[in-house]
């Protein structure tokens, strides 16, 4: 894997060009362009805020919209990346057949393009948090850690999804189902403390969700202004590193057959 990372670094200019291409294609022929990356989550935030703070009251959560944004923005970046990664290799079949370069560049470009959008969105969230008097500045290193771990997790899953989809095209539909379920087993619309009221078996299943710990890192740092506990920190690190390594291993195993299968 280290050799592969070194090889990818030697193709960094091509990777940058692919990232720029992904950003341009994403907002091509769009009047508002990049601002759609804000309007889409903004609409969801309005809907979820209405449902979960007005219709189904979330008592004990001040400024529910900010609470929601701290978890929803990372999740949307994660889910969008996985959906796009399903077509990363299949959608570039012509290039893959004609010329050699690391195939990992395609899913990596998608991951980095969405990570760039997430940085912009989190920056605006921090402005709103500052306006409402949240003292998150001392916890910015935790936010940086969460970003790095999410990047590793997303790269790992992106590599897996893009590689496996070449052989099993139905994976695209399965991903949508899994992500819908994943949204509700990630503490985005509810605080982590709510999980204490459910059976231990379900708590154990929820802890297997690698995005849960990462989302809590964002929320603890930005909204609660607290340092994460050992369990949350360990879950985020172990989950991200494990998926990152597994993603490279699976991709490397399947990559030699891409040209034949696409």
- pLDDT lower than 70: segments of the chain: 26-40, 48, 50-60, 195-198, 200-205
What per-residue confidence (pLDDT) applies to 244?
95
What per-residue confidence (pLDDT) applies to 162?
93
Residues 217-252 have pLDDT tens digits of: 999 999 999 998 888 899 899 999 999 999 999 999
For tokens 């940058």, name the residue. Answer: 16
The domain limits of the chain are 2-261
Cα separation, 48 vs 253, whole angstroms: 41
What per-residue confidence (pLDDT) applies to 25?
73
pTM score of the predicted model: 0.86
């Amino acid at each position: 894997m280290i050799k592969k990372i070194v090889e990818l670094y030697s193709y960094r200019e091509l990777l940058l060009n692919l990232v720029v291409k992904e950003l341009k294609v994403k907002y091509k022929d769009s009047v508002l362009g990049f601002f759609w990356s804000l309007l889409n989550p903004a609409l969801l935030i309005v809907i979820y805020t209405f449902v979960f703070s007005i219709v189904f009251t979330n008592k004990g959560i001040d400024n529910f919209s900010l609470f929601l944004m701290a978890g929803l923005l990372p999740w949307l970046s994660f889910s969008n990346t996985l959906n796009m990664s399903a077509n990363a290799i299949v959608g570039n079949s012509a290039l893959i057949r004609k010329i050699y370069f690391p195939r990992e560049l395609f899913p990596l470009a998608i991951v980095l393009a969405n990570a760039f959008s997430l940085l912009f969105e989190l920056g605006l969230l921090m402005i709103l948090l500052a306006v409402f008097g949240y003292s998150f500045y001392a916890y910015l290193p935790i936010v940086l850690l969460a970003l790095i771990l999410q990047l590793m997790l997303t790269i790992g899953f992106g590599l897996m999804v893009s590689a496996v989809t070449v052989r099993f095209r139905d994976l695209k539909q399965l991903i949508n189902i899994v992500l819908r379920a994943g949204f509700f087993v990630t503490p985005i619309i509810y605080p982590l403390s709510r999980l204490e009221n459910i059976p231990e078996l379900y708590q154990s299943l929820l802890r297997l969700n690698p995005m849960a710990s990462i989302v809590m890192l964002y929320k603890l740092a930005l909204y609660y202004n607290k340092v994460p506990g050992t369990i949350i920190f360990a879950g985020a690190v172990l989950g991200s590193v494990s998926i990152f390594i597994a993603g490279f291993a699976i991709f490397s195993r399947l990559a030699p057959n891409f040209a034949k299968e696409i």
